[in-house]
Structure 1
Amino acid sequence: MTRVLLVSHYFPPHLGGIENVVAEQARHLAAAGADVLVLTSGRPGGIEQLAHGVRVLRIPAWDGLQERAGIPFPVPGPRLLTSALRWARWADVIHVHDGAYLTSWAAGLASALTRTPMVMHQHVAIVDHPATVVRLVQQAVWGTAGRLMLRRAKRVFVLNDTVAAFVENYGGRVEHLPNGVDTTVFRPAAGKNEIRERLGLPADRILVLFAGRLVPKKGYDQLIAAAGPEYDLVFAGEGHDGVPADRPGVHHLGRLDPAGLADAYRACDVFALPSTSEGFPLTVQEAMASGLPVVTTDDPGYAPYRLDRSQVRLLPRDAAAIRAALVELAGDPVLRARMGDWSRAYASVSFSWPAHAKTLLDRYGA
């Protein structure tokens, strides 16, 4: 039995794309026979045993940057390093998610001290953040600890060519590995009206869904600028300062757990995410599995997936272009159905979590 130490700065119930990926990896690795412990930040309570056989160890952390500025960077206490060392000695492999966090650095140091093999998942490159201080901090991190992490890892799993180029620039050994998606949870709706009523959404409007944190890189402002009378906008995600609460045709669902988010996909008609520097975000995979037509940014990171551009709208990050695509989809139910059917078929074939877990177990021993 392979003993796997998964390391992530956050883990559910904290909401976010990386958290969801780590949770699914842990569940499917355990289902494939691995012994899995997740090291993360959060409220402590000993080692938590999850229903599917995964154990979680949460280290107390100060999370003021997330609460005050929307920057997801928890600062764990001194227990982090001692816990990382203890569980690194136990593990056959350490699997670190993203090299920009204190949890990752502690795991990297523990790997070096215990000589436990380490692999990494790098989800993003440097983000073009509007705050100068954030950009400078990112550059400092990747010029020091982040670079050392990428160089020391046996291999670095990436989702797209943009992140691959970033990792290679810092000396990392890259392997492309798509995330999976649970197609039993994220699936098309048999009927939307009941779900819309439950979520407080109108029954008689075309609904365009945005799912993700309301931060600049996600492009929610581009979507607001593309608003029009042909459709309503639905925002599902943390934060709402930039979303006009009293504007007709704009709905804010707030933070949703995975079941609530699955309902939001099923309630809506189109998914739109004008993000940047993300490649192939998990929310796009979930929307496709839910049978929604997708409108998103023409990011180079989509290139390895060979998407059919007649079935997925890959656009400039421009409000006018986004609006033109949404107007077309809002007025053409046949086109929406065709693109949605293609999305579901593509997701069912291409995004298998069991296959993802099997690849990981193969690579851990290689």
Structure 2
Amino acid sequence: MKITYVAMNYPPHTGGLELVAQKQAQSAHDAGHEVTVVTFAHQREQLGANNENGIVVKRVFGLHFFETYFGVPFSIGGVGMIRTLRREVRRADIVHLHDVFYMTSWFAYLFARLYHKPILLTQHVALVDHPSRIVRSVQKLVYRIFGTLIFKASEVVIVYNPIVKNYLLHAGVPEQKLLEVRNGIDVHAYGRVGNEEKNKLREKLGLPLHKTLILFVGRFVPKKGYRELYEARDNALYEIVFVGTGILPHAWYHEPGVHILGERSQQEMSDIYTAADIYVAPTKGELFTLAMQEALASGLPVITTYEKEYDSEDLDTSKIVLCNPTPKELKDEIIKCIADTAHMEDMSAYSRSLAENRFSWDKNIESVLALYRTLEQRSKIVKVTTSWDDGHVLDVRVAELLKTYGIQGTFYIAPRNHELKEEDRLSDEQIKMLAQEFEIGAHTMSHRSLVHLEDKDAFFEIRDSRQYLEALVSKKITSFCYPRGAYQKKHITMVKDAGFSLARTVQRFSTRPDRTSALETHTSVHTYDHWSDVWGVLVLARGNLRTFFSLYRKWDKIAVAIFERVREQGGVFHLWGHSGELRDHNDWNRLENVLRHIGGREGVQYVDNKEIYG
């Protein structure tokens, strides 16, 4: 399977997102997938495509002045980025985005929608508590626009800590769509050494040999708490080593007891952890960052910020320090550790044990690889379903056509449809006859728009239609269709409370129904020529104007085109309509031509609506 990863940054650029993206890509490659990464270059000589351990990494030009001058990791791409993303998304089977905040993810999302590619998202952070009001406002705007779109379009959103999970739940992402996994590292790449080896490493790094060294690793941005640690310095008892990217005050470079190593490669980091004595992470809104996991695997005692989400981690808080990261409290906790060498040894052993038991990458990546396998299997499944609304007497003719071509469907019936004359409604006997071979769904009792009814009346319309039809056909009714496709969030709750497990809308051009939103199941094609189909047909035609005009306002040709796309990419083709409209527009021949085209195909599953998610 071809997987395209899209990450704003990628090693050798340092950071947690970069390392996670690299490890995911490498694990996917090692599992036998064909992997491409699209990312920004940070040096001109990096531009272009390179094969890195079997992974094709395509680095594109970007402007990085927000990161360079303001410490905000946000790059701006141009035509090269757009062209590369378009090409790589088009050839991919899965598009795996890293964080919604970045321009690379925005364009990859748009192309994935254009080419109907499944999207996976790894969301690394929630809203960052930045000191700049402008940055906070921009974050909120991005999440409200692109975040909402990408969260909704993603098959699954992968998160690595409960803080991000809780934020996404609060933002309305269904819990069923979230895959919470532990991050991880190559535990065996880190470890402890004796004093002689430690001194050699310190000498190599230019660090003092006989001082207690406190280590900070991370970007020099406010949420990481690097200033609080700087203000907690005590040159007589310990010295502080800062490793990371960003801008630090010039005076810090000349401050006694402060050592600034700047950005270091992943290979160098193992030596730096080994050379240190205590790891301090005064970060806000993060749990078990990759740097902290590496410190744990190196056997360093850890002092970090208390977050309420740690309460569920079953930690021995006598052996890992969780505190309020003020300069005074950080200083007190560091001094307390240094004063008890035996306890430091216990903390060190506990750190290593935590890393081995919880943060092995090989163990933790398995759920993501299983997700790839599931999507690969799903891409081979092609389903066809149909649905027919209102309970018109001509539904009997539709049923005969469906049987002729071996196609299943669901008939959504409003038993007392006020828009149909009594002689135009299906009789109870006809409904029972249909129920012998097709699924019967509810469509309210009288087909009145739910949004124009009082809440009590709307619920009765929904519930009573199910009860009436169940009593009539002696079968459980589990599918519902919103009259005229009009509903509000409260009506979804009513449908669920009335006992339905699926509810169909009238939204079209969908071929990948979202199982986490079964009460808003969308469709592919309506047997009606809509003027409003401009955007849907333009996307279906992939921007080709000749193809667009050959399809626009020709529902039967749209149906064939979407069906062929589903056969190629997998998914669900869902045709729906009204038998009365077919009569009024003399569209019976068009319907039969479509049914003839889609029916009897090898490898296609013909299902009713309740089996869409089966």
TM value normalised by structure 2: 0.57
Please tell me the root mean square deviation across aligned C-alpha atoms, in Å. Answer: 1.6
- 2:498 matched to which residue of 1? none
Instruction: Report what 2:450 is aligned to.
Output: none
Query: Which residue in the other structure is 1:309 paired with?
Result: 317
Name the SS for the 2:365 alignment partner.
helix
Q: What residue is the counterpart of 1:343 in the other structure?
A: 351
User: Counterparts of 1:229-248 in structure 2 under 5 Å?
Assistant: 229-242=236-249, 244-248=252-256
Q: State yes or no: 1:27 paired with 2:26.
A: yes
Residue in structure 1 matched with residue 224 of structure 2 by the alignment:
218
Given that residues 150 and 170 in structure 1 are in contact (C-alpha distance below 8 angstroms), is that contact kept between their aligned partners in structure 2?
no
> More relative contact order in 1 or in 2 (CA 8 Å, sep 6+)?
1
- Alpha-carbon displacement from aligned partner over 1:204-235 (angstroms, at most 9, x marks no partner): 11111001111111101111121112211111
1:301 & 1:264 partners in 2: Cα distance? 29
Q: Which moved more, 1:40-49 or 1:155-164?
A: 40-49
User: What's the CA shift for 1:75?
Assistant: 0.6
Using the alignment, how far apart are the partners of 1:301 and 1:257 within structure 2? 31
Correspondent of 2:193 among 189, 192, 206: 189
Which residue of 2 is the match for residue 177 of structure 1?
181
* Distance in 2, Cα, partners of 1:301 & 1:209: 24
Quick one: structure 1 residues 355 and 247, their matched pair in 2 at CA, closer, same or farther if it must change by over 3 Å?
same
Contact kept? 2:5, 2:35, Cα under 8 Å: yes
- Equivalent pairs: percent with the same residue? 35
The answer as to whether partners of 1:233 and 1:250 remain within 8 angstroms in 2 is yes
SS at match of 1:157: strand
Contact 2:39-2:104 within 8 A present in 1 as well? yes
* Structure 2 residue 261 is the aligned partner of structure 1 residue 260: no
Note if contact 1:160-1:304 (Cα within 8 Å) is conserved in structure 2.
Answer: no
* CA 1:239–1:358: 2 relative to 1, 3 Å: same
Structure 1 runs not aligned, ≥5 long: none
Distance in 2 between the 1:187 and 1:147 partners? 42
Name the counterpart of 1:162: 163
**Counterparts in 2 of 1:304 and 1:10: CA distance versus 1, 3 Å:** farther
Decide whether the 8 Å contact of 1:159 with 1:301 is kept in 2. Answer: no
Larger radius of gyration, structure 1 or 2? Answer: 2
The equivalent residue for 2:336 is 328
Q: Which moved more, 1:121-130 or 1:154-163?
A: 154-163
Q: Distance in 1 between matches of 2:98 and 2:311?
A: 23
Deviation at 1:351, TM superposition (A): 1.5
Any stretches of 5+ residues in structure 2 without a counterpart? Answer: 375-614
The question of whether the paired residues in 2 share the 8 Å contact of 1:5 and 1:87 is answered with: yes
What is the SS of the residue equivalent to 1:317?
coil
Q: Is the 8 A contact 1:25 1:353 kept in 2?
A: no
Alignment of 1:1-366 (within 5 A): 2-42=1-41, 43=44, 45-50=47-52, 52-172=53-173, 173-190=177-194, 191-228=197-234, 229-242=236-249, 244-366=252-374
Q: How far does residue 41 in structure 1 lie from its aligned partner after superposition?
A: 1.0
One-letter code of the match for 2:213? L
Q: Report the secondary structure of 1:36's partner residue.
A: strand
Helix, strand or coil for the counterpart of 1:48?
strand
SS of the residue corresponding to residue 130 of structure 2 reads coil
Preserved contact between residue 97 and residue 104 of structure 1 (Cα < 8 Å): yes
Distance in 1 of aligned mates of 2:312 and 2:288: 10
- Structure with bigger helix share is 2
Q: Evaluate the alpha carbon distance shift between residue 198 and residue 231 of structure 1 in structure 2; reply closer, same or farther with a 3 A threshold.
A: same
CA shift, 1:74, in A, is 0.7
**Deviation of the 1:89 alpha carbon:** 2.5
Q: Compared with structure 1, are the counterparts of its residues 119 and 346 closer, same or farther at alpha carbon in structure 2 (3 Å cutoff)? A: same
- In the aligned structure 1, how far is the partner of 2:313 from the partner of 2:185? 15
Contact preservation (8 Å) 2:68, 2:246: no
Local SS of the residue matching 2:253: coil
